[in-house]
Amino acid sequence: MRRKKELHELSARFDLSEPNPEATLERAKSKYQEYLERTVPLQPAGWFWGRIILFTIFGILPGIATAFGAFLIVKNAERESEPGYYILAGIVAAIAAFFLIAAYFGIAGARASSPKRALRLFYRLVAAGRHAGARKLVLPSDFDNFPRFFPGDGDI
């Protein structure tokens, strides 16, 4: 059951029918003060498992398979005593390292552990249409009825 939102507390002091930078700044200051005083119930956003699964499938698994291939090439080089195989094994191992390092950074970026990462995740989730995930990255006190103004088509 949704409760009806009442007028924002700044509506008595400011005319919120038009863009008002002073009201926006005042609201931002009050939201930041609420955050500093810990009056807002905060829940950590946690890990975003979709990105972890994606980087596991397309990063870790191919990296492990490629590393195993490099290992088999080294074993074959030992058996046939061909030095050319070691060069090939080094190239394949470098490809495996690339996959694994890319997967590591992708998985590390799947958690909002810094403001920069949180902002990147927020915009990635919004762009992908995963609004519930993006909503986890916003302070709960920000879901009020303060008017948001967007640029028109000619303003861009």
Write down the domain spans for the chain: 49-108, 112-146
Highest averaged pLDDT of the listed ranges 42-46, 52-56, 62-66, 118-122: 62-66
Band (1; pLDDT cuts 50, 70, 90): very low
H helices of 37-142, in order, are 49-55, 61-80, 84-108, 115-127, 131-135
- CA–CA distance, 31 with 150 (Å, rounded to integer): 20
4-36 burial code (b ≥16 CB/10 A, e <16): eeeeeebeeeeebeeebeebbeebeeebeeeee
Give the model confidence (pLDDT) of 69-128 as tens digits: 999 999 998 888 888 889 999 999 999 999 999 999 989 888 887 888 888 888 888 898
Burial of 103 (0-12, 13-18, 19+ CB in 10 A): buried
Greater pLDDT, 78 or 150? 78
**Which pTM was predicted?**
0.59
Averaged pLDDT for residues 115-143: 84
The share of the chain scoring above pLDDT 90, in percent, equals: 28
Averaged pLDDT for residues 44-62: 87
**pLDDT at site 153:** 62
Can you name the residues that pair with 47 across neighbouring β-strands?
111
- Angle subtended by helix axes 61-80 and 84-108, to nearest 10: 160
Alpha carbon of 36 to those of 39, 41, 145: distances in Å? Answer: 8, 12, 22
